[in-house]
Chains A and B, each alone.
Chain A
């Protein structure tokens, strides 16, 4: 009622914000001064504050309740219960794959473009392409990705549409890699998705994914090379200088993980990516 304090009129929303402590300190002081002269309004605000306290008093005890085992289990594991078995399976596959691929590699090739030329088998070509894509984009400073990791949902939606299948970007922060983003690249048989990650030292790692759904013949040719094992989920390893590539196939999808990281580090990342992408329910 007094007009002695000239400031912006107080809105209904600001009264609520006052009760909820969501005003800036400066504005809160102004609103308090305004309320001091309006007992009816002040009583409303205090009533709201009292409501909040009563709600907290009523429901805060839930916080102290023991979490039921079922909820605890659901919080820790996905519904299918695949996590532990998958890790064990991935580890077993890795052992087989590393042993089986020891004699094969891209060692000696000096230049990423040589990788493609030196690779006669379909799987090799794939690994070489992944390495090439890594070599081209990993050093990029300004445009390492087309869509950055802050827009992961758009990135995933876009890549899924273009790849003709649901794509997901594994989250690797537990292994020290943050998603930088991704891009779409031309592959042998269609578009290929490249997800780029970086660690704290700015070392980059890429996940290269192809969907060879239209190239069944090629896929089965590659399957035959697997000594009767489930080659479509076995890991293979290739290296070129400091650049290492882990790759595997899962049905129509091929995955390659490339980084200038040692084999042990890459193995951990591969197991995690495998766990998230191949074992996780879509």
Chain B
């Protein structure tokens, strides 16, 4: 005879064909699965906690103090953040970063897409072309920035040499010390650098589209552009979203090319946000204030990414 207590303490309904772990969340099998899952995930979670969550938490704490590079610090609450909004240097760097992002994002996507269209079929030479287009991205932004710095020099640089031969520029044009010229040069440079990555991301997606869709469109007499617009683009939505988000985040966090080519100059006209943060921390020695700027940047990038994810979400996944 099962006593009242024993009956209550036994797990519910585990007999019969419809019973099973999914009936109640903490049914016997479900509980075991959940426990196993947690154990398997815990090393990764520990790593994330130690190397991501804890530093992030500590950084938030630092941003609430006036932590200097050298010397004692005090907790000052949200004062850094209120100062940040009124800091012309910070605001200018944010606006400049937004401008830069707005300029390069479109071309990177378009050029990358065009190259992906070119090399997506496995034809003769496509492996070579793919490598060629991707190589600038692999060599790296910092290295190439130094190369470009040399070539942008007036009189001795290759850029002026070529452009003056074409009659497009004066041989002594000083690119790196003029706001408009420097921004133009850097934007062209970054498009050249980053479109290879976009190409790879989109190409992978394009190759995943079943060929039958194109073949049946051919039977219906569709033009190349119609195929592209009606078949490729919609099915590529997620890949485009990913490429865009990576590109935008990268542009928001741009630093290397500006630090190397213009040092943020002339003055601070080409200083992006990350460079503002760097200067505030390691030149002005205001670590607390700089960290507040960094946290603000994290929030902005997070919001923009979330917005992008929402706008570019797959329509099929939208629940009614």
The yes or no verdict on A and B being binding partners is no
B interface, CB within 8 angstroms of A: none
